[in-house]
Amino acid sequence: MRVSCLMLFWGLCFMLFTPVCQSESPIRISDYLSGASTEDVLSEEKKILSFLEQNQDTPFLDELEFRLNVDEFDYDRQEVAIRYKIRSFGEMEDLKKLALAGMASREAQYGLLLNRALKRRYDMVLEYLYCREMIIVHEELIKVCKDRLHVLKRRSEVPGADPVKLGYALVDAENDLMDVEMETEKLKDHARLISHEILRNMGTKGPIAFDSEKRVTIDEIEEVIRQIGNVPAMKNAAIQSAQKQADLAAARYELEETRNGAWFSFIETAYDLEQRDNFDKAFSIGFGISVPIGTTSRPEMREKKVKALNAKRACQMIRQRNRDETVRLSSELRHLIRRYERFREKNRSGGEKHHYQLWQDTEGADPMILLKIRESMLKKQVSETELLFEIYRGYTDLLDVSGKLLQKPLRNCLTHAKERFEFHV
């Protein structure tokens, strides 16, 4: 009996506490944004950066060669020589600059990839929230469409009802219900795909708690637009990467220019075994002197100069495109916000909610009128949600162009609290 009681006790404990142990903490927006640095493409870029950090040194000697000259395959008539190039101090300095420019370029490239990964996660969060809100409204619309269909079917059973008029109304109601159900299924499928992607990125089973957080307000978005408009020149990740690419191309050209201006082309020390009894005669040293005439017209020089100019022009074009894009997005956002506020004001002043409540409280009210008002309210809610998320998308696009997504300290720009977060190492 005691054994049975103990087994029952431990069984109950297992059933009660196992779900608690297995439950995972909810995924908040900041948690998801923090994981942007763990994406595969960034892991590969980190390996490149690590390799460059460990291979910064440049040897003073270059193109070291061991040479052996044999006369008639006679061992006593051999000459052993070592030929090498000695880098000038100018070349060594330019090589250091090139190494630093290369490292800075890869770091900027990493920043660009990180910015893209973070922006993609912001887009995923917005898409998830959009689907969730639209599904809720569409499910309410399905209920209204079903109720309307039910009312029409009941009216068709009433003696004396106009069969033609009711027939048309029934067909319209069925078509409306089918359209809303198909749109709802489409939204649910899209939401499932996004949820799967989010959980895969996080390496967890959730739950996703994005919709439990208070989002950024329209007033706060307008303040961000004003702040960005007051900053004359901003650098986002794309501009920084283009600038570092231009610096790298310029460093390569400067190195080629220094090499073409070098006088010493090589140094060679030799030892003649035939004269080995006399060291002074056996040992010799020679060097080559380059005459730097017409070196600026060499194909290598021209190619590197053109690449440097192209990289500089590309950076200027990206800067200009960034300025234009900032102006365009700011203007579009202001326009969307005005549309959104006018739409909300019109809905508030329209009094549909008041009329709906009034008809609900009226005894014997026509249910079709109630359903029509309710359907109109829900469709306006769909339009309002679409407008709101257009604003959110434009807002994150503007933050991306302005460089504020990666601005330190990192903040969650989608929530009212603007909580800080750090990338996962």
pLDDT of 390 reads 97
Q: HSE-up of 374 (CA within 13 Å, CB side)?
A: 22
Task: Tell me: cis bond preceding 292? Omega within 30 of 0 counts.
Answer: no
Report the alpha-carbon distance of residue 147 to residue 155 in Å, rounded: 12
Q: How far apart are CA 119 and CA 396, in angstroms?
A: 8
Put residue 39 in one of left, alpha, beta given phi > 0 → left and psi -120 to 50 → alpha: beta
Q: What is the pLDDT of residue 276?
A: 66
What pLDDT sits at residue 14?
Answer: 45
Compute φ and ψ for 157, nearest 5 degrees. Answer: -85, -10
pLDDT of amino acid 9? 46
pLDDT number for residue 129: 96
In the prediction, which pLDDT does 18 show?
A: 43
Tens-of-pLDDT digits for all 425 residues of the chain? 444 544 554 454 544 444 443 457 889 999 999 999 988 888 888 888 787 777 777 766 666 677 767 666 665 667 777 776 777 777 778 878 888 888 898 999 999 999 999 999 999 999 999 999 999 999 999 999 998 888 888 877 777 667 767 778 888 889 999 999 999 999 999 999 999 999 999 988 879 999 878 999 999 999 999 988 766 556 789 999 999 999 999 988 888 887 776 666 767 777 776 666 676 666 777 777 776 665 566 777 788 888 889 999 999 999 999 989 999 999 999 999 999 999 988 877 665 555 556 555 556 567 787 888 888 889 999 999 999 999 999 999 999 999 999 988 999 999 999 999 999 87
C-alpha–C-alpha distance, residues 394 and 81, integer Å: 69
Q: Which residues pair with 66 in a beta bridge?
A: 82
Domain coordinates in residue numbering, the chain: 24-402
Question: Interhelix angle for 299-350 vs 367-402, to 10°?
Answer: 150
Decide: 378 and 144 in contact? Cβ < 8 Å.
yes
Helix-helix angle 89-156:40-54, to 10 degrees: 170
The highest-level CATH class for domain 24-402 is: mainly alpha
Going by C-alpha positions, the residue among 129, 121, 143, 123 that lies closest to residue 191 is: 129
DSSP of 166-194, one letter per residue? Answer: HHHHHHHHHHHHHHHHHHHHHHHHHHHHH
State how far the Cα of 391 lies from the Cα of 218, in Å rounded to an integer: 9
For the chain, the distance separating the N- and C-terminal CA atoms, rounded to the nearest angstrom, is 55
Q: What is the DSSP string of 352-406?
A: HHHHHHHHHHSTT--HHHHHHHHHHHHHHHHHHHHHHHHHHHHHHHHHHHHT-TT
| Predicted structure pTM score | 0.81
Tell me which amino acid residue 357 is: Q
Cβ neighbors of 368 (< 8 A, separation 6 or more) are: 148, 151
Predicted pLDDT of residue 362: 57
Beta pairing partners, 285: 269
Q: Could you tell me how far CA 48 lies from the centroid of its own chain? A: 20
DSSP 321-365: HHHHHHHHHHHHHHHHHHHHHHHHHHHHHHTHHHHHHHHHHSTT-
